[in-house]
Each structure stands twice: as C-alpha cells, then as structure tokens.
C-alpha cells in the first residue's frame, strides 16, 4: 500500500505544478502553445489610442549577461517579441551604440536590436513595438544624435510627441521619450526616484499597486502613455545582495499576476499603460494582454 500512495502523491504534485501559471521565467527557451496568436494586436480597434492600451514590457530588456548582479531577462529580444512583449527598454552607450547594463556590455547594439524588431514587424504587420532609448555612460551625450542619424527619414518609426492611434502605427516602431532622449511620445513615469531600490518586498508590492492606480487614472483619459515598473534590486541599500533582480522577480511576479487577476475582474476593467517587468513568464505576459479585451 505504501508504494502506490507515494506514487499517487508524486503524480498529484506534478499535476498541481503543471497547472500553476508561468509567471517567472529564467530559461532561454521559449515554448509557445500550439494555438497561440503571436499577433495579439490584430483585433484592436484602429482608432484606439496606444495610450489607452495595457502593454507588457521588460525593464533592461537586453540585460542577458552579467550574472545575478546585472541579468534582468532570460529570453532573447526575438523570443520576447514572440511571447507578446511590445515595450523595450534599451540602455545605449557610446559611439558604437552598445547596449549596456551599468558597466556591463550586453554583447549587442542598438542597430542590432532595431534590425531584429524590424524583422519581427515585417512578419507580423498588425503589431506595433514601443522602444525607449536611455543614453548611459560612457559618452551618453553623443547617443541621441547618433540614434537620430541611424533612423533619419525612416518611415517605419514614429518619432512625434503626439500619441498615435494603433491604426497609424501598425507595422511600425514607436519611440517613447523621457529626460535625456527627446524623440517620440512623452512618457508619464509612475516610479519616483529611488523606487527601484528594494529593502522590503511587501513595501515594493504596495508601491507597484500605487503606481498602477496612477497609471490607470492616466489611461482612462488617454492623455499620456504611462510606464510602471515591477522590477527592482537591493543593491545600493543596507541589504546589499539580498534582493537581486532575479530573486526579487521570483517573489514579485506571482504577486503581480494575482493582483492583475483581481483587477481584471472589475467592471469596467482598468487599463495600465506599459508594465515593465523582470523575468516575466508567459502567463504573466498574457495576463497583461488580457486587459485589452482580446482573450
């Protein structure tokens, strides 16, 4: 009797695990469901302002290298696009426009990222991809003009400050701007200075909740495109290495999924603008997308 009971317990545990939503991902491989629609923006109303969407994004989108201190994502840019991510945070440095996280080279460049996004949009013409360029050291002051030279006269990139409808930017890249980069839509960033520093997970959760409420207020009117972060780190605080990006995401992502699931049940459903995440799992991304009334 003992052995069959043990086997039954193991099977029940496996079944339970397989039914849990994938909210955190730290593996390179992307496994998409057979019936998954990559072009999730296809059925959006062409007249809908993109500032009234809820958009899954990543923080430090190409921070794939540097170990526990610097790594914020596991999937490549292409895999993030395929999984439904439509906002990318690119930290760009120097005359070669290298992508960096702090001092750590991420082994790719802004032109490479642009080429990948363009390739994706050539296959999925119903989509639009939002890109934030954040100039960083060294030579951060040169980055804006160098980026401008790379995209000069490009017909597939929106660089105006006005918020477009989705119909105007299908198949295009939409630049968003803040502070040191002045091309594209002006962002309303809900995070305040230092909010990325985490010493208490519960406090971080409350901050995210507050930021999403602020974003929802902006989103209702469509007056501005909001950006909120669920990411963070304890580096630079008294806790030092306690909550590095990966460890924090393991705790925050399940909470974020549950919080969004509760918000989704409201009538009318809120919208939240861009939610930028670290190590998001496929189901967390899909939960964000659901707010657009597509699933």
Q: What is the pLDDT along the chain (295 residues), one digit of tens a residue?
A: 455 655 655 555 554 445 799 999 999 999 999 999 999 999 999 999 999 999 999 999 999 999 999 999 999 999 999 999 999 999 999 999 999 999 999 999 999 999 999 999 999 999 999 999 999 998 889 999 999 999 999 999 999 999 999 999 999 999 999 888 899 999 999 998 889 999 999 999 999 999 999 999 999 988 889 999 999 998 888 887 889 999 999 999 999 999 999 999 999 999 999 999 999 999 999 999 999 997 5
Q: What pLDDT was estimated at residue 16?
A: 46
Q: How far apart are CA 130 and CA 150, in angstroms?
A: 17
Q: What pLDDT was estimated at residue 1?
A: 45
Q: How far apart are CA 211 and CA 180, in angstroms?
A: 22
Q: What pLDDT was estimated at residue 138?
A: 86
Q: How far apart are CA 287 and CA 282, in angstroms?
A: 9
The structural domains of the chain, ordered by start, are: 42-290 (3.20.20.190)
Q: What pLDDT was estimated at residue 8?
A: 56
The upper half-sphere exposure of residue 293, i.e. CA atoms within 13 Å in the direction of its Cβ, equals 12
pTM of the model: 0.93
Residue partners of 254: CB distance under 8 A and separation at least 6: 23, 24
């Amino acid at each position: 009797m003992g052995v069959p009971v043990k086997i039954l317990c193991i099977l029940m545990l496996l079944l339970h695990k397989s039914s849990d939503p994938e909210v955190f991902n730290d593996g390179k491989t992307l496994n998409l469901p057979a019936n998954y629609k990559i072009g999730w923006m296809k059925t959006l109303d062409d007249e809908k302002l993109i500032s009234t969407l809820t958009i899954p994004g990543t923080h430090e989108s190409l921070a794939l290298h540097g170990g526990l201190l610097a790594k914020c994502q596991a999937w490549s840019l292409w895999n993030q696009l395929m999984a439904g991510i439509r906002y990318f945070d690119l930290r760009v440095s120097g005359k070669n426009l290298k992508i960096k996280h702090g001092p750590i080279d991420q082994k790719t460049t802004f032109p490479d990222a642009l080429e990948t996004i363009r390739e994706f949009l050539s296959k999925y013409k119903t989509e639009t991809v939002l890109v934030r360029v954040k100039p960083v050291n060294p030579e951060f002051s040169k980055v804006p003009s160098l980026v401008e030279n790379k995209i000069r006269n490009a017909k597939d990139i929106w660089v105006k400050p006005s918020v477009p409808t989705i119909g105007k930017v299908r198949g295009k890249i939409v630049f968003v701007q803040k502070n040191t980069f002045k091309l594209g839509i002006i962002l309303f960033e809900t995070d305040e200075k230092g909010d990325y520093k985490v010493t208490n997970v519960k406090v971080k959760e409350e901050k995210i909740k507050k930021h999403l409420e602020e974003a929802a207020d902006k989103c209702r009117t469509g007056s501005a495109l909001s950006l909120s972060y669920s990411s963070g780190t304890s580096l630079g605080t008294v806790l030092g290495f306690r909550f590095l990006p990966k460890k924090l995401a393991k705790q925050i992502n399940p909470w974020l999924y549950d919080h969004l699931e509760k918000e989704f049940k409201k009538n009318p459903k809120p919208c939240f603008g861009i939610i930028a995440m670290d190590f998001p799992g496929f189901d967390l991304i899909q939960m964000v997308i659901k707010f657009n009334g597509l699933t």
